[in-house]
Amino acid sequence: MEMKLTIRRVPTVVSNYQEDSPAAAGCGKNCLGDCCLPVSELPLYAFKANPAKLPSQEDAAPTKPLINLLLTEWENRMARGLFRYDVTACETKVIPGNLGFVAQLNEGRHLKKRPTEFRVDRVLQPFDPAKFNFTKVGQEEVLFQFENGATDESFFLESAPIPADRAPNVVAINVSPIEYGHVLLIPRVLDRLPQRIDQDSFLLALQMAAEAASPYFRLGYNSLGAFATINHLHFQAYYLSVPFPVEKAATQKIPLAEDNMKSGVNVSKLINYPVRGLVFEGGNTLNDLANVVSSACVWLQDNNVPYNVLVSDCGRRIFLFPQCYAEKQALGEVSQELLDTQVNPAVWEISGHIVLKRRNDYEEASETSAWKLLAEVSLSEERFEEVKAYIFSAAGLVQSDEEEVSEGEDTTYVPVPVAPLPITEGCLVLQ
């Protein structure tokens, strides 16, 4: 039996800084570029982490959970009409089956979404200021700066100046959302970094997931060639109150040499899932986990292997998917049936949340059809093992001679522990 999902709206709360917006400065467009941002003030969420220069806490508001603040401010932008469509009106259902793929009907999204402006055969491409990038976004789309708080507690400022000595990290809405609370984390926006992961940016993504402290708030990353559409470094994130199918999939632990266990990071591979991938989890610190996974990502992008990343379980569990769908498309190896769906399988689709553009595809969606689409994304077993060996070498991991240990024999649904919803009304609820 299909499980229908509906969205219950969070009451909008308008902050003081939104009611009395300052006059535009710089170019007059109140953008995130060098002309406007350095002379602006934006809300600031300061997370608890290592020391860094930040404004004084004298006027800091009592700390709210990050997820509560983010969703409230996202709702505010919805009320102000900043999105291209109302994603809360989209039909969504859980498809019957062992994995519980989630299907959403979003007719016409591909016509309203910004088209890709970059080659799909190169993972690393130089930043091009002439093409769309996030410095051209209006500040009204920004929810807050996201910075290291230099204290043991998080805090929030409704208005804070932009640091003079470094480019700020900002969290902004995705104006073409695919789910409730869909936002973008843009590290060091004024540095105009191309879409490529490094250790610092990946650690920032893990810190955001940890600060949100909700198993239903995940971050994702798409490389160029794996359906990123903007060559300006960013992670995506949103709130979905059901487990992703990949989070329920069985895994097989890869035994590591004893020297590799100092960091506390464990590595497994997915089994009985349509896309081959690696799962990194644990770590003595977030920094340990970020070091290992970012090293793997750096090898992939330096060697032109497109990939997607899902940050799950409050930053404690990372799924890494090398993929080849765009390459198969270019070689004419994808069936016309799949091409006609106009689904580009990026991180959310690979994780099991599939956005469909045609009603017929939505109504006929099944675990079989989802599996058929995603199987085209996966590297072959031989190529996956080859890439895995290179990734291990780049990350300083050595596989031991022990046999791989199974952590799950099937893909039967196992309920994920659910903490009380951090917002008053809730988001997605099952009916």
List C-alpha distances in Å: 405 to 54, 107, 255, 261, 276: 46, 43, 7, 16, 17
Do 238 and 214 form a contact (C-beta atoms < 8 A)? no
Pairwise CA distance, residues 63 & 11, whole Å: 19
Pairwise CA distance, residues 420 & 375, whole Å: 35
Residue 353 annotated to the active site:
no
Radius of gyration in angstroms for the set of CA atoms belonging to the chain, rounded to a whole number: 21
Pairwise CA distance, residues 190 & 37, whole Å: 8
What count of Cα atoms within 13 Å lies in the side-chain half-sphere of residue 122?
9
Annotated active-site residue in 182, 232, 234, 353: 234
Q: Bin 192: left if φ > 0, else alpha if -120 < ψ < 50, else beta.
A: left
Do 324 and 379 form a contact (C-beta atoms < 8 A)? yes
Residue 210: partners with Cβ closer than 8 Å, 6 or more residues away: 286, 314, 315, 316
Task: Report the candidate in 275, 268, 329, 352 with the shortest Cα–Cα distance to residue 307.
Answer: 275
Q: Cα 161 to chain center, whole Å? A: 27
Q: Give 230: exposed, middle or buried? Use CB within 10 Å, 0-12, 13-18, 19+.
A: buried
**Catalytic site positions:** 234
